[in-house]
Structure 1
Amino acid sequence: MRAPDFWWRRERTAAASLLAPFGALAGAYASARMKREGRSVGIPVICVGNPTVGGAGKTPTAIHLAHRLAGLGRRAVFLTRGYGGTLHGPAVVDPNRHSSAEVGDEPLLLARAAPVIVGRDRVVAALGAERLGAEALVMDDGFQNPALTKSLSILVVDAGVGIGNGLCVPAGPLRAPLAPQFARADALLLVGEGAPGDEVGIAARAAGLPVLHGRLAPEAGAVARLIGRRLYAFAGIGRPSKFFETLDAVGIRPAQKRAFPDHHVFTEGEVDTLLREADAGDYTLVTTEKDAARLASNTAGRTLLRAAEVLPVRLVPDEASGLELDRLLAKALAPARAV
């Protein structure tokens, strides 16, 4: 699904106004649901969520936290619903056996950093993590799901778009009103820069939340391979323009760009079109790691992937935010250490 453009406009459009009553109802339900008491599974649960629908940088943040936990001497296991996959779980993700069609694209990326359990029932999935030696569970998404008691919840916001028009789905991108989400969060992480993110940061500080800052940095080796080449960039993520902006930020400006909906499964026709257009313009195709994970799941996608470069990115917090993350993680882990 591609988010409607009017979600991200500051002024309220006619479509947003028409849908606002439905958004208010959905937001009230989500707020009430978040109040339910969750279950503790005896392992610290670190939740990475976002207040809006769509991509904000949750998966790179989750991977970064797993690395920081390792630095603190804790073995992390990822817990995820496996959005877009058919597998109900609980199941341990095996990149050599599972495809994105089965477990979703994000779990395949997470599995490169630490073990991953996919499960629609998060409590059942979490209870299975102990046999993997989990000393901390890192949830990629699930902030609004009340099933598990969280030890630490970090809301991630794309600073370039913030919370859009500030309305709840379907009138806007918010999953629930901002105030009750802030009330259940421990920190806000702004990824990138932009006035929309600054405004969310002001609201978070007013609610008593620490505001952290980070950026998505592309892998240096991948950047070096792309410099000086005519590029055709394509992406099917929450905000494809964010991928294009990442390329621009390192001085790489694609001659052609094509955006697809989030979690898009590329058809044979689309693969043929991309390959044909790249060949006609003597372009090098370049895409995201998430898209690469999906493309590897079928024959047509693998053909496209062999012809494309992949640009991995990682979260890089600023120095002060890195120190604050370590403090928050240590606090979340402290009760478990005292047992």
Structure 2
Amino acid sequence: MREPSFWYGPPSLMSRLLSPLGALYGALTARRMMRPGARAGLPVICVGNYHVGGAGKTPATLAVAAVLLAMGERPVVVSRGYGGDQEGPVRVDPHCHTAAQVGDEPLMMAAQLPVIVARDRVAGAALAQRDDASVILLDDGFQNPALEKDLSLLVIDGTRGVGNGAVFPAGPLRAPLAPQIARTDALIVVGQGTAAGGIAREVVARGGLVVRASLTPNEASLSDLRGKRVLAFAGIGDPARFFETLRAHGVDVAASRTFADHHPFTPEEIGGLVADAAKQSLVLVTTAKDMARIRSDARLAPHAGGISVLAVTMTFTDEPQMRAFLTARVERAR
């Protein structure tokens, strides 16, 4: 879905009109979050968001996985596979599966570590255990009570925060903040913005950890784009952040196109983007998540070679602190 502009703007009439629906939705979700979950038999680390839309959850999951691997753990990601039609549980094979089958984010992550897609997260955790995982990384699922979490890491954008602070559909929150913060063990604040300051203070007051993180573009992909004029397009939660990242690193974004998060591109759309870029002598560039959908679709894949990708990696400002925190919590869960 495409985020309504009023979610991240000043108080609006539309938000007030939708607030009764938000109150009902939030109450139901908060009550659902209180249900007891099943034990997986090994530590479960959930990486999630307070809100719908993008904040860097997938790069955060990969960053946490990298720390766990450095600790000697064997993390396996369990994901619902949003956007895919596979119920699972199924091991994602980036050479065989498509984004339409398993979702773009699982397909992208599977290039770096084992990923299981399962609508039934308990079944997904069981398969991960059979696959000799030592730790389960639950991709999203913070508001889903099916699995008991030993550690919940919430990702928030330091500039956007939680927008107008209202619950969907009046705002971007999936549930009221209070019950969500009460279940937050650590807050990962992406970027240098201060919009998450109030939430960070509450997390710390409850004994949780707050760690800063940044998204760093791959230097090889940047070097191919510097000095060139580009047409950038993105179908992610926050396309504007992608465009600003390009500009901040010296790329001339002459034109941009935005699509809804997880947008299923059609041949006409990709063909139109290729034609527009050619007419204006622009280089076409997109995100790794968007390219996962393009490359895995036989109708779109022929265009993939002519589209550049800006890959990014999340790094923690204080990685030793995150490693010590994860070590202590994983050992406690065993």
TM range (shorter): over 0.9
Secondary structure of 1:226's partner?
coil
Letter in 1 for 2:8: W
8 Å contact from structure 1 (residues 152, 328) kept in 2: no
Matches within 5 A, 1:177-326: 177-319=176-318, 322-326=319-323
Task: Give a deviation string over 1:2-28, Cα, whole Å, max 9, x none.
Answer: 01110111x210100000011011111
CA contact (8 A) 1:66 1:113 kept: no
**Identity of aligned pairs, percent?**
47
> SS in structure 1 opposite 2:252?
coil
Partner of 2:8: 8
The equivalent residue for 1:154 is 153
Distance 2:84 2:66 in 1: 25
Residue-by-residue CA offset, 1:161-195 (whole Å, 9 max, x unaligned)? 10000000010000011111011110111111223
**TM-score normalised by the chain length of structure 1:** 0.95
- 1:61 corresponds in structure 2 to 60
Deviations 1:202-225 (A, max 9, x none): 343344432111111111111111
Which amino acid in the other structure matches residue 309 of structure 2? V
- How far off its partner does 1:228 sit? 1.0
The answer to whether the Cα contact below 8 Å between 2:229 and 2:251 also exists between their aligned partners in 1 is no
**Residue pair 2:6, 2:14 contacting (<8 A) in 1 also:** yes
User: 2-side partners of 1:117 and 1:101: how far apart?
Assistant: 15
Structure 1 residue 325 displacement after superposition:
1.4
In the other structure, the counterpart of 2:328 is 331
> 1:115 — aligned with what?
114
User: For residue 325 of structure 2, what is the amino acid of its counterpart?
Assistant: L
Query: SS at the partner of 2:81?
Result: coil
The alpha-carbon distance between structure 1 residues 201 and 253, as it changes in their structure 2 partners (threshold 3 A), is farther
Partner residue in 1 for 2:47 = 48
Task: Indicate conservation of the 8 Å contact 1:26/1:176, yes or no.
Answer: yes
CA–CA distance in 2 between the matches of 1:297 and 1:264?
Answer: 14
Tell me if the contact between 2:67 and 2:323 (Cα under 8 Å) persists in the aligned partners: yes
What is the total number of aligned residue pairs between the two structures? Answer: 334
Task: Confirm or deny: 8 A CA contact 2:69 2:75 kept in the other structure.
Answer: yes
Letter in 1 for 2:145: P
Letter in 2 for 1:100: A
**SS, match of residue 16 in structure 1:** helix
Q: CA RMSD in A?
A: 1.3
Unaligned runs of 5+ in 2: none
Alignment partners' CA distance in 1, 2:149 and 2:206: 19
Structure 1 stretches of 5 or more lacking a match? none
